[in-house]
Amino acid sequence: MKIDLTELELLHLIEIDFEESRFPYLIPLKPGGYRSGDIEAMSSYICRHAELSMEWSHIYGQRLLDNFVTTQKLPACKKNSAEVLRLCNSVGVVADRYIEAVTVASNGKLNGQFLTLHPLRFLCDNNARGLQKQHMVWCPECWREDRISGESPYVRLYWLVESTVICVVHGHRLSEYCPACGEVKLQFPKFPRQWVCDKCAEDLSKPDENHIKDNFTEEDAWVSHAIYRLIERIYSDELVLNEFIVSKAIQRLLQWSRLSHLELCHKLNIEPKSLENMLDTKRRPYFLAFLDLCYRLDLPPDQFLLDKDILTSKELWRGLPKPTFTSKINLTEKEIKSIRSQLKKILNENPTPPVRLSHLAAKFGITYTRLQYNFPDEYRELRKRWTQWEKIFRRNNHAARLEGLTIAVLSLVKHGIYPSERKLRDLELVLPSDLRREDVKCLLKAFQEIYSDLQFN
């Protein structure tokens, strides 16, 4: 179906030549926060297009790729999970395809790479470890403000960087779990409306009373602001960083401080190997180690990389304990012991319905991924119990729905009333949402055929 573009007046538009033959592949929709630190993520941009085109976001994305990406660059297998597709926001081959599609489809008016983390690729290793989060996070207040300003709520790219913990506009911890069902949210969901929960359809922009907004450390806040400023600086001027950028910045620092690299490592309490890796232009730095270095120097990465002057002073340097980057995913022994005993208790009690893993992760104050990584056996068992229970629950629910419909139809025809959809709804005999279900529709249609043959009116 085609959309009447005159109805899109409320949206912020940019000048993209519009070709009827290409319709509806790229609508001239301006990315949220264009050329600012609030720049929209690629997945979000695709989702908003899909919503306007009334398509599923993955299908829309695939059509965009099919139309605008050179065939050799397309994958042989087109069935990708949301888990793989979320990489369209990162660096790498999936992102490259989406970048090309958006850039070509907009006739070069939009540079697709500035909707992804691709411009930061020389700040991280080839696998982009520690760069992008697994799941979506969001700030409900930012989304409410988007709506007030007439835009559909969109996902900021900086939210999706692994180390971002807070929304820098509102200074609150970003939300990770649906307030109604506790489920995590996919970064590139199939259903394009990003501000609803994929599981229970709750509006995620509503205030969440259980969300602890000030649950973050000083370091979390520093790093979140640093990432925001880095993105703001690079993306607003569309700067291109080269592979020497980190190494050059460190050399400048060594010159200015008149320290050898070993002395610097000693002062900052970091492993010489870690700094040597960053100095070696043949190797790419580890993103979290680079951010940690900036934090120890109290020097925001945008200034460290892009300013010629060194805007830090040695008195402000932080000689913190040696960094352990695995701590992002690993837990301390004490935490492991305590969580394991609680998991054991839950497994023994075997409650019905089983406890959801995302609820558990929230209860322990860790991420879903950390739970899976640290307790693989318990995770597998709990997941199995949940899916089994859910399967039975769905089957029973299905039977109950059809039974309900049959009773409702019979109660109408007993009084000589034709079982129309409207009657069923007006008498509140069947839920309107159930009437939209395929199984209910089929059964109702069968009943209606029988009763119209019997001359009900």
Q: Which residue carries 């997941």 as its tokens?
A: 383
Instruction: For the CB of residue 172, give the shortest distance to Zn ion in the complex, in Å.
Output: 7
Q: Which residue has the tokens 């199995």?
A: 384
Residues 6+ apart with CB under 8 A from 268: 293, 296, 297, 317, 318, 319
The burial class, CB within 10 Å (0-12 / 13-18 / 19+), for 329 is middle
* Token reading at 333: 């022994």
Rounded Cα distance between 250 and 206, Å, is 44
Pairing verdict, β 172-173 and 166-167:
antiparallel
Tell me the C-alpha distance between 177 and 457, whole Å.
50
Smallest distance, Zn ion to C-beta of residue 139, A: 3
CA–CA separation, 51 and 402 (whole Å)? 32
357 backbone dihedrals φ, ψ, rounded to 5°: -65, -35
Q: Where are the beta strands (DSSP E) in 259-345?
A: none
Closest distance to Zn ion from the beta carbon of 301 (Å):
21
434 dihedral zone (left: phi>0; alpha: psi -120 to 50; beta)? alpha
The secondary structure of residue 30, as a DSSP letter, is P
Write the DSSP symbol of residue 399: H
How many Å apart are CA 240 and CA 254, to the nearest integer? 24
* 143/451 with CB nearer Zn ion: 143
Query: Would you say 240 and 208 are in contact if contact means Cβ atoms under 8 Å apart?
Result: no
Q: Which is nearer to Zn ion, 201 or 399 (CB)?
A: 201
What are the φ and ψ backbone dihedral angles of 187, each rounded to 5 degrees? -75, -35
235's CB contacts (< 8 A; 6+ apart) are 35, 36, 37, 39, 114, 119, 157
Q: What is the chain's Cα-based Rg?
A: 27
DSSP letters for 330-393? ---HHHHHHHHHHHHHHHHH--SSPPPHHHHHHHHTS-HHHHHHH-HHHHHHHHHHHHHHHHHH
Closer CB to Zn ion, 201 or 400, in the complex: 201
Paired with 29 in beta bridges are: 13
Q: Cβ 170 to Zn ion, closest distance in Å?
A: 4
CB nearer to Zn ion: give 174 or 293: 174
What does the binding site for Zn ion look like in residue numbers (CB under 5 A)? Answer: 139, 141-142, 167, 169-170, 178, 180-181, 183, 197, 199-200, 202
Task: For Zn ion, give the closer residue by CB, 177 or 304.
Answer: 177
What one-letter code names the amino acid at 54?
Answer: M
Q: How far is the CB of 225 from Zn ion (least distance, A)?
A: 13
Which of 277, 358 has the CB closer to Zn ion? Answer: 358
Which CB, 177 or 451, lies closer to Zn ion? Answer: 177
Q: Which is nearer to Zn ion, 100 or 198 (CB)?
A: 198
Identify any residues that bridge with 12 across adjacent strands, giving them in sequence order: none
